[in-house]
Structure 1
């Protein structure tokens, strides 16, 4: 934990759209909690607006979206647009799921953080969020 930090990192884990497969999101939520983070899991079938509003209300440091439905090129740009409209420039948007490498790169160029493929060690995801927050979040 960073010496400057006076509270645990807060991460919102979300499933956006009609994708009903949430085992991976629950595994990530548990792993982040076990890494010392406060985790808010929104549950299934969230809209981008619901996710961003919940992130604002919960004052999170990061939003993690799990997506397996193939709608990543719609969901992530909409969430990043809403985050910009609400001036959430100091909140990380990350995620993972079935996302082709070319799409991951395009989303990164739009402002989405690192995206993780299935099978990524959960410790890598927790470390990434912690390192990003240490560099980008005021505490």
Structure 2
């Protein structure tokens, strides 16, 4: 493996549910775009079904969910189940927001990737998505 891709990494950034705070998601989307990734930002009030269907239509490498509402233990498992149902098992599901460490561990156990707390550097997030994609989606 060469450590690079011959195409831009495609990332879907979404806000699920009634969480109306999207500044962080927009900062993430802009930073990923500035790092050379193709970013699809879905906007506010998406359902898990909308997110997974968009990911399928856009042929993304990764889905990033920004969540501050406390609904992470509902949202992430629902998205993982839909991804499995739609055979998106080679797409990274990652995200960030206000998620207690114990919940992060439970979500990791069901197949969610790294989850980032407020204050995580953009470089950490960019490198994680880039490294995961190169390792798992370099085709």
TM category (shorter chain) comes to: over 0.9
1:107 aligns with 2:112: no
How do residues 53-132 of structure 1 correspond to structure 2 at under 5 angstroms? 53-132=53-132
**SS of the residue aligned with 1:24?**
helix
Aligned-residue offset at 1:2: 3.7
1:23 aligns with 2:42: no
Alpha-carbon displacement from aligned partner over 1:76-129 (angstroms, at most 9, x marks no partner): 000000000011111000000000000001000000000000010011000000
Q: Structure 1: which 5+ residue stretches go unaligned?
A: none
Q: CA RMSD in A?
A: 1.0
Alpha-carbon displacement from aligned partner over 1:3-24 (angstroms, at most 9, x marks no partner): 4x22100000000000000000
Alpha-carbon displacement from aligned partner over 1:37-73 (angstroms, at most 9, x marks no partner): 0000000000000000000000000000000000000
Runs of 4+ with deviation above 6 angstroms: none
Query: What is the TM-score normalised by the length of structure 1?
Result: 0.97
Give the Cα–Cα distance (whole angstroms) in 1 for the partners of residues 87 and 38 of structure 2. Answer: 22
Q: How many residues align?
A: 138
